[in-house]
Amino acid sequence: MERDSLARSIISTCLEMTRLGLNQGTAGNVSVRYRDGMLITPTGIPYETLTPSHIVYVDAGGKHEEGKIPSSEWRFHQMAYQTRPDANAVVHNHAVHCTAVSILNRPIPAIHYMIAAAGGNTIPCAPYATFGSKKLSEYVAIALKNRKAILLQHHGMIACEINLQKALWLAHEVEVLAHLYLATLAINDPVPVLSEAEIATVLEKFKTYGLRVEE
């Protein structure tokens, strides 16, 4: 896809993320894999005011184009693409329920089979490190190794997928799971969970779920 249409898709993903209630203010950031690097939202600019010219190209070496400042989290986006060759889009936000679980420093357990959408039977929580730091990107790389979505302790969440639409869908799904987890945790701790074997079965079924039969 051309740079301009990718930039437009990034902006509409940001706006949709806010519309879905997953984010507040200038929190969060969105990127897509592009050439040897990525296109990413600029730092600290409200989504409603973004135009395609604000979107920043960052190359594989972490060098960004002149006259623009990329998201403070460009390092963990870069790490996500390095760690997950299947990912073409990365969404980060401070969704309230995900962030609440991250404050408890707990993974989201297998409370619902949709946990498998993130690639396993838990959604792990990467340890805290200062926003924008190299340390945070290192923690992100470890946590994303076997998962498409993770929590960031005392911060928020990240979702990676093959395209922006799916990354945003996954981010929303994880927020629903976090909400469910907190709701059930208020009544029962630990909450009842599905077995590893059942999640393995769901992971298998997801490989073909929703695929259309060729006519």
Ligand X SMILES: C[C@H](O)[C@@H](O)[C@@H](O)C(=O)COP(=O)(O)O
175 labelled binding-site residue: no
Distance, C-alpha 64 to centroid of its chain = 22
Q: Which stretch binds ligand X (CB under 6 A): 71-79, 105-113, 184-192, 203-211?
A: 71-79
Alpha carbons 79 and 136: distance in angstroms, whole number: 10
Using CB under 6 A, which residues numbered 97 to 136 contact ligand X? 131
Could you give the angle at the alpha carbon of 182 between the alpha carbons of 181 and 183, nearest 5°? 90
Residue closer to ligand X (CB basis): 20 or 180: 20
127 sits in the region (left: phi over 0; alpha: psi -120 to 50; else beta) called beta
Q: Which of 28, 107, 109, 124 binds ligand X (CB under 6 A)?
A: 28
Alpha carbons 160 and 77: distance in angstroms, whole number: 9
Bridge partners (DSSP) listed for residue 31: 40, 90
Indicate which residue of 66, 73, 175, 204 is catalytic.
73
Contact call for residue 26 and ligand X (CB under 6 A): yes
Alpha carbons 101 and 65: distance in angstroms, whole number: 36
Q: Which residues are catalytic?
A: 73
Which residues are annotated as part of the binding site for Zn(2+)?
A: 73, 92, 94, 155
Site residues, ligand X (CB under 6 A) = 26-29, 41, 43-44, 71-73, 92, 131
Which residues are annotated as part of the binding site for substrate?
A: 28-29, 43-44, 71-72
Which residues are annotated as part of the binding site?
A: 28-29, 43-44, 71-73, 92, 94, 155
